[in-house]
Chains A and B, each alone.
Chain A
Amino acid sequence: MLLPAGQRASGEWIDDTLRARVEEKGLLARTPLAGEFPRQRVEVIRGADPTAEVNRLYRLRGWTDGLPIVPPTLGRLDEMLAQGPLDRRAVLGEVEPLGGVASVEKIAANAVMAGCLPEHFPVVLAAVQAILDPEFNLRGVQTTDENVAPLLVVNGPAARRLGINASWGALGPGWTANATIGRAVRLVMNNVGGGWPGAVSFAGLGQPARYSLCLAEREGDTPWPSLHVELGYRPEQSTVTVLRAETVINVTGGLDELASVIGSAASLFGILHSGKPTVILSPFTARRLAGDGWTRADVRRELYTRGRLPAETWRRSWIHATVRATDWPDWARAAAESGFIPAVREPDDLTLIVAGADLPIPQHAYCPSWGHPPCRVTREVVLPPAVRGTMTGP
C-alpha cells in the first residue's frame, strides 16, 4: 500500500498537525488512529481480509471520505501512473492549508482510493493542477465556514472517451468517471492538504458536492462553441475547468426562472467577492435559444440583466449587517443606487455550460460562487498518446 497522506517538503507528515487539531477539537472518536502509521512510502497490510483491514485502518487514520476506498496497492498505482503524462516523482505543488507535497505518485494513490479507473488519471491530474492555482484559493476553500466545493467541468474528447456523463443524471449517482474523478480531488484535499472536516475544514453544513461535483459539458447540441473553445482552446483539446460552487440549485423552467434564482440571496456571497458563478443550462433550452439566434454571450447578458437582486433584499440581508460597507465592491454599491444589483460584475463572469438530459421539462442549475479571488481555472487534460484525439470510446 502506498501511504496516501501528505508529507511536507521538509519531510514532516501533515498528520502530526492533524492529530493535534483532532485532539483539540474532541474529534478523536472519528479518527482514533490519526497520525498512527509507519513513516514510510509504502506499508504492507495483511490479514484474512486485507482489503477490509486497509479500509478499517485508513478510515480510522482519517484518510477517507467515509465511504469505502480501493486499497492503493503498488500494482494499481502503476496502472494509474501509466495513464498520466507526468513522471511519478513530478511535483505539482503543495496542497493548502497544511502543505503536503502533491507528487504525481501521491495523487495517483488517492485516485486509486477514490475508485478511479487508470484512464481517468489525466483528468484528476489536470483538476489537481487547477485547484493548486492561486486563483482557486485552496486555503480558503479548505478552511472557510462556507460550504464551497470544487466544480469540475470537463470538455473535449476526453469527456467522451472516458464516459464522463453530460446527460441524464450527470450530477447524480451511477457514473463512475463523474463520481470518482471528483472524489479523487476531494481525497487529495483531505489527505495531502489536510482539509479534515471539523478539525481544519470548518464548513458549517457541508454539501453532498463535497463528495464529488464533476460533469462534462454537452457539446454539439447547439452551434455554440463549447466552454473550452470559448476560453481559447481548440475543440480537439481536452480540458478541465474548475470553479468554486457554494451549492447546486435546481431550476426547472426557462430563463425567467433562472433569472429569478440568480437574482436572489443565493448570490450575496458572490456579489461580495465579485465571484464567478456557474449556470448549467438545459440542452432543450439551449437548442431553442440557439435556434432563435441567441449566442452564449447573449444568454449570459440576458441573465446578467434580468438576474438582479433588489437592493432592498441586499440591505436587509445578514451579510450586509455583518460585513463593513466598504467590503462590498464598487460596482455592487453603485448598482444598489439604481435599486437592483446584478449577480456578477459583468456578464462574462457568469460561466455558462450546457448539460443534462434533453428533456422538454428543462432543468437547469445555478451554482453560486464563494470567496476571493474570482475564480475560473482551466487546465488541459493530457491523454496518453494512444488515445489522444480519439473521438469514440471503447
Chain B
Amino acid sequence: MLRASAVVERAGVPTASLVCEGFRGQAATTATGLGLPGLPTALVPGHVDVQTVDELRRNLAAVTVDAVIRNLTEAPARVGGDVVEPAPADIVFEGNLDEVNRFFYENDWSDGLPIVPPTPERVAEFLRWSDRPGETELGVLLPDQRRATVWNVAVNGVMAGCRPEYMPILVALVEAMADPRYGVEHSGNTPGAETLIILNGPLIKELGFNYEQGALRDGIQANTTIGRFWRLYLRNVAGFLHHRTDKGTFGNTWRVVLAENEDALRRIGWTTIAEDQGVPGGNAVTISRYTGGGVIASVFGNTPDQMLPYLADSMLRKVGWELMFTVGMGVGSQRPLLLLSPILAETLAKSGLDKAALQQRLFELCRIPAWQFERYIGDWTNLVPGRPTLASLVKAGLIPPVFAESEDPERLVPIVCRAEDLMVAVSGDPLRTNAYAFAHNGILGYPTTKPIRLPAEWSRLLREARGR
C-alpha cells in the first residue's frame, strides 16, 4: 500500500496511508526504501482484523482520523538524503575468522551461521567466473532500493560458502530476483513464505548438485550454499531484516536448491520446469515462493486412476487462504508445485501421460466445493474484499467460467485457473514412491525463470577448478 502512496505522492497528490500498529516500523523502513522517508502514515491502533466494528470505529475516531487529516493537509516532513554505505572495495574489517564472524553478525550482515570472509582475493576469484564486470547492475531491489551488482553477488556468494564456479547461477538468481514479475518487494510479508530455487540444465551434474535421495535436504555443498546465498542476498542487498522490513509472522529457513532429475525426465519424455517456463535448452534457474508444503508418502498403485486421487487430495490439503491468489489478488497467479520422485513420474508416464495430460488430470481432480472455496477467501480471512461469490466474479469477467458452471454451492471448482498453473517437477529418491506438494504465494513470488549465462572460458575455468 505504501508503494501505491509513494506513486501518488510523487505525482504531487497528498496521501494518507493507514498503518496498523504492528507495522509502523516496516512502514518507516519501506517508505525510506521508496525514497520518501517522510511518507505520511496514519496509525490504526492494534490490528483491524480482530476488532469489532465498534472498537474499530472508536480507534479510528480517536487516533486515525486526526492523523489522516494531518497527512492530507500538512507538508510531509522533509527528511532523507543519501545513506552512506561502504564502497564496494572498501576493507571494512581486518581480523581473524572468529572476529570477522562476530563483526559481520553484530552488524546484521550474517544469518548467524559462520560466513566465509569476503576478502578481495576471494571476491576477485568469483568475478573471474562472470564475463560481466563487477560494477554491472543487475537491477535495483526493494525495500532498501540497493543496486544489485555482479560485485555484491560475488561478495554474498563468498560469504554463503559457495564455490566460485557457482557464480553464473548466483548472477542468474539475482536477475530473477530483480525481475518485476517475481515481486521481491513482497518478501517481508506476514505469511513469511520461502522461495524455492529449481535448477535445470547440464550444470546440475557439472557442479555436483544432488537431484536424488534427499534432494530438499541440506548437506550437499552446491544445493545448500546457493540456498543460503539467496537468503543472505535478501538480507544484505534487498534489505530484509528481522523486526524491520521482514514482517514474516513465523517465517522458515531458506530452502536448498532443488535440482531436477533430468535423466528421468528425458527417459519418459517429460519437459523440465525451465522448458515449461518457456526457457528451453540448457541451464536455467526458476524461483517461486511457497507458503508451505509437505510430503505425500507411499503413493500406492500402478495406474493414474489409482495414484492421482491421492496426489490431488494432498495438493488440495496444502491450499487454503492461498486461494486468494487464484481469484483475488493477481488472478490466476496461484501456482502450486507437485514434486514427484522419478519412480512415480515413470509409472504415470508408462500409462501414456505426458506432463500436459497429467496437469489436465490434476486440474480436474484438484477441486473443492464452491462454498468451501468462498469460505477460505471470505468468511475466514476477509482476503478478497467485499466477500464476492465466485459466480459474481465470473459474471464480472474477472475469473474464468470454470468457477461458475452452475449456481450450486456444492459444485466443484478448481484451485487454479488453468491446468498449466499446476507445476510438476521430478527429483528425489529415484526408487521411492513419495511425492511432495507445495502451496504457492501467488503474485507475491511468482515463478520466474532466467537462463544461466556461462563465461566464455567456462570449460577451461572448470578444468582448472577441478584440478585444484
Q: Bits for B46-90, please: 1 = Cβ < 8 Å to A, else 0.
A: 000000000000000000000000000000000111111110000
Smallest CB-CB separation from A89: which chain B residue? B243
Q: Which of A1-19 contact B (CB under 8 A)?
A: 8-13, 16
- Is B106 an interface residue, CB under 8 A from the partner? yes
- Is B382 an interface residue, CB under 8 A from the partner? no
Q: How far is the CA of A16 from the CA of B83 in the complex (A)?
A: 10
23 example contacts (A-B, Cβ-Cβ < 8 A) are as follows A8-B37, A8-B79, A9-B28, A9-B32, A9-B37, A9-B79, A10-B32, A10-B80, A11-B37, A11-B83, A12-B79, A13-B84, A38-B86, A38-B92, A39-B83, A39-B85, A40-B107, A41-B106, A42-B103, A42-B106, A42-B107, A44-B99, A91-B25
- Is B21 an interface residue, CB under 8 A from the partner? no
Q: Bits for A22-44, please: 1 = Cβ < 8 Å to B, else 0.
A: 00000000000000001111101
Are A44 and B86 neighbours in the complex by a CB distance under 8 Å? Answer: no
- Is A74 an interface residue, CB under 8 A from the partner? yes
- Neighbouring B residues of A74 by C-beta, 8 Å: 106
Chain B at the A interface: mostly helix, strand, loop or mixed?
A: loop
Q: How far is the CA of A42 from the CA of B108 in the complex (A)?
A: 10
From A12, A16, A91, A99, name the one whose CB has the most chain B CB atoms within 10 angstroms: A12
Q: Bits for A67-92, please: 1 = Cβ < 8 Å to B, else 0.
A: 00000001000000000000001010
Smallest CB-CB separation from A41: which chain B residue? B107
- Neighbouring A residues of B29 by C-beta, 8 Å: 9
- Is B93 an interface residue, CB under 8 A from the partner? yes
Q: How far is the CA of A74 from the CA of B106 in the complex (A)?
A: 9
Q: How far is the CA of A16 from the CA of B108 in the complex (A)?
A: 22
Are A41 and B86 neighbours in the complex by a CB distance under 8 Å? Answer: no
- Is B95 an interface residue, CB under 8 A from the partner? yes
Q: Which of A88-118 contact B (CB under 8 A)?
A: 89, 91, 99
Are A12 and B243 neighbours in the complex by a CB distance under 8 Å? Answer: no
* Least Cβ–Cβ distance between A359 and chain B, in angstroms: 51
Are A40 and B83 neighbours in the complex by a CB distance under 8 Å? Answer: no
- Neighbouring A residues of B80 by C-beta, 8 Å: 10, 12
Smallest CB-CB separation from A99: which chain B residue? B79
- Neighbouring A residues of B32 by C-beta, 8 Å: 9-11
- Neighbouring B residues of A39 by C-beta, 8 Å: 83-86
* Least Cβ–Cβ distance between A108 and chain B, in angstroms: 14
Q: How far is the CA of A11 from the CA of B83 in the complex (A)?
A: 6
- Neighbouring B residues of A42 by C-beta, 8 Å: 103, 106-107
Size range of the chain A interface in the assembly: 10 to 19
Q: How far is the CA of A41 from the CA of B37 in the complex (A)?
A: 20
Are A44 and B79 neighbours in the complex by a CB distance under 8 Å? Answer: no
- Neighbouring A residues of B86 by C-beta, 8 Å: 38-39
* Least Cβ–Cβ distance between B275 and chain A, in angstroms: 43
Smallest CB-CB separation from A74: which chain B residue? B106
Are A10 and B79 neighbours in the complex by a CB distance under 8 Å? Answer: yes
From B79, B95, B99, B243, name the one whose CB has the most chain A CB atoms within 10 angstroms: B79
From B32, B83, B93, name the one whose CB has the most chain A CB atoms within 10 angstroms: B83
Smallest CB-CB separation from B93: which chain A residue? A44
- Neighbouring A residues of B84 by C-beta, 8 Å: 13, 16, 39
Q: Which of B77-122 contact A (CB under 8 A)?
A: 79-86, 92-93, 95, 99, 103, 106-108
Smallest CB-CB separation from A11: which chain B residue? B83
Smallest CB-CB separation from A2: which chain B residue? B106
Smallest CB-CB separation from A46: which chain B residue? B95
- Neighbouring B residues of A13 by C-beta, 8 Å: 84
- Neighbouring A residues of B103 by C-beta, 8 Å: 42, 44
A residues apposed to B, CB below 8 Å? 8-13, 16, 38-42, 44, 74, 89, 91, 99
Q: A12-B81, A41-B106 given. 16 additional CB < 8 A pairs?
A: A9-B28, A9-B29, A9-B32, A10-B79, A10-B80, A11-B83, A12-B79, A12-B80, A38-B86, A39-B83, A39-B84, A39-B86, A41-B107, A44-B93, A89-B243, A91-B25
* Least Cβ–Cβ distance between B390 and chain A, in angstroms: 43
Smallest CB-CB separation from B29: which chain A residue? A9
- Neighbouring B residues of A91 by C-beta, 8 Å: 25
Q: How far is the CA of A11 from the CA of B79 in the complex (A)?
A: 10
Contacts known (A16-B84, A99-B79); A10 close to B106, Cβ less than 8 A:
no
Q: How far is the CA of A41 from the CA of B243 in the complex (A)?
A: 15
* Least Cβ–Cβ distance between B6 and chain A, in angstroms: 14
* Least Cβ–Cβ distance between B235 and chain A, in angstroms: 14
- Neighbouring A residues of B243 by C-beta, 8 Å: 89
- Neighbouring B residues of A99 by C-beta, 8 Å: 79
- Neighbouring A residues of B107 by C-beta, 8 Å: 40-42
Smallest CB-CB separation from B84: which chain A residue? A39
Q: How far is the CA of A371 from the CA of B383 in the complex (A)?
A: 51
* Least Cβ–Cβ distance between A36 and chain B, in angstroms: 11
Q: How far is the CA of A9 from the CA of B83 in the complex (A)?
A: 11
* Least Cβ–Cβ distance between B239 and chain A, in angstroms: 10
Smallest CB-CB separation from A8: which chain B residue? B79
Are A10 and B85 neighbours in the complex by a CB distance under 8 Å? Answer: no
Are B108 and A41 neighbours in the complex by a CB distance under 8 Å? Answer: yes
Q: How far is the CA of A41 from the CA of B29 in the complex (A)?
A: 16
* Least Cβ–Cβ distance between A11 and chain B, in angstroms: 4
Q: Which of B22-37 contact A (CB under 8 A)?
A: 25, 28-29, 32, 37
Q: Bits for B316-348, please: 1 = Cβ < 8 Å to A, else 0.
A: 000000000000000000000000000000000
Q: How far is the CA of A47 from the CA of B276 in the complex (A)?
A: 60
Q: How far is the CA of A40 from the CA of B84 in the complex (A)?
A: 10
- Neighbouring B residues of A11 by C-beta, 8 Å: 32, 37, 83
Are A12 and B83 neighbours in the complex by a CB distance under 8 Å? Answer: yes
- Neighbouring B residues of A38 by C-beta, 8 Å: 86, 92
* Least Cβ–Cβ distance between A15 and chain B, in angstroms: 10
Q: Which of B133-166 contact A (CB under 8 A)?
A: none
Q: How far is the CA of A89 from the CA of B244 in the complex (A)?
A: 10
Contacts known (A39-B83, A40-B92); A10 close to B37, Cβ less than 8 A:
yes
Q: How far is the CA of A91 from the CA of B28 in the complex (A)?
A: 13
Q: How far is the CA of A41 from the CA of B93 in the complex (A)?
A: 13
Q: How far is the CA of A44 from the CA of B101 in the complex (A)?
A: 12
Smallest CB-CB separation from A39: which chain B residue? B84
Are A44 and B95 neighbours in the complex by a CB distance under 8 Å? Answer: yes
Q: Bits for B9-29, please: 1 = Cβ < 8 Å to A, else 0.
A: 000000000000000010011
Smallest CB-CB separation from B109: which chain A residue? A40
* Least Cβ–Cβ distance between B92 and chain A, in angstroms: 7
- Neighbouring B residues of A9 by C-beta, 8 Å: 28-29, 32, 37, 79
Q: How far is the CA of A38 from the CA of B92 in the complex (A)?
A: 8
* Least Cβ–Cβ distance between A96 and chain B, in angstroms: 12
- Neighbouring A residues of B25 by C-beta, 8 Å: 91
Smallest CB-CB separation from A35: which chain B residue? B84
- Neighbouring A residues of B81 by C-beta, 8 Å: 10, 12, 16
Smallest CB-CB separation from A38: which chain B residue? B92
- Neighbouring A residues of B79 by C-beta, 8 Å: 8-10, 12, 99
